[in-house]
Amino acid sequence: MPRESKEDDLISLVYKLVIESGDKGILQSELWKKLNLTSRDGSRIATRLEKRKLIKRERVLEDGRWTYRIKPLLIPLSVESIADAPCITCPLFSKCYDEGEISPRTCTKIERWVMSEYQQHLVSVRKNET
């Protein structure tokens, strides 16, 4: 396996663990121990995720030592995010397609739903930034 692919897999794993830690986040040192990483390698990965604006690192005093708590900035969407999509229960669903009588491009129900979901997402991101 090429070096880049292993590194990408490791970056994905770190991000997955940070996401699983939720709003509380995870101490950088705990994360490195879980993955058996050196501080240097772990910091390099955290910096990459930070540059991609996927995480934030907050300097915290833990047990008399300065470290970083890593928190997710973006949480990937899940199936729950579409549970309230209007398409699922729409009686016109069978007539809805790009060139159809009803189109996702012009549907006001889906437009309102997408805007509502987007606003909720922005509130969540702003909350995580503070």
State which residues form the domain around 61: 3-72
User: Which of 72, 88, 109 corresponds to the end of one domain?
Assistant: 72
Burial of 68 (0-12, 13-18, 19+ CB in 10 A): buried
Dist CA 125 CA 75 (whole Å): 9
Residue 65 has pLDDT above 70, yes or no: yes
What's the CATH number where 42 sits? 1.10.10.10
Same domain? 7 vs 62: yes
pLDDT at 55: 94
CB contact at 8 A, 2 and 42:
no
pLDDT tens track for 8-33: 888 999 999 999 998 899 999 999 99
How many domains would you assign to the chain?
2
User: Which of 26, 53, 72 corresponds to the end of one domain?
Assistant: 72
Same domain? 51 vs 85: no
pLDDT tens track for 47-62: 999 999 999 999 999 9
Strand blocks (E) in the chain: 26-27, 55-62, 65-72
Q: What is the mean pLDDT of the chain?
A: 85
Range with the lowest mean pLDDT among 10-24, 98-112, 115-129? 115-129
Same domain? 35 vs 90: no
Which residues, other chains included, contact 67 with Cβ-Cβ below 8 Å and sequence gap of 6+?
27, 28, 29, 59, 60
Same domain? 68 vs 87: no
Same domain? 49 vs 7: yes
Which residues, other chains included, contact 39 with Cβ-Cβ below 8 Å and sequence gap of 6+?
29, 32
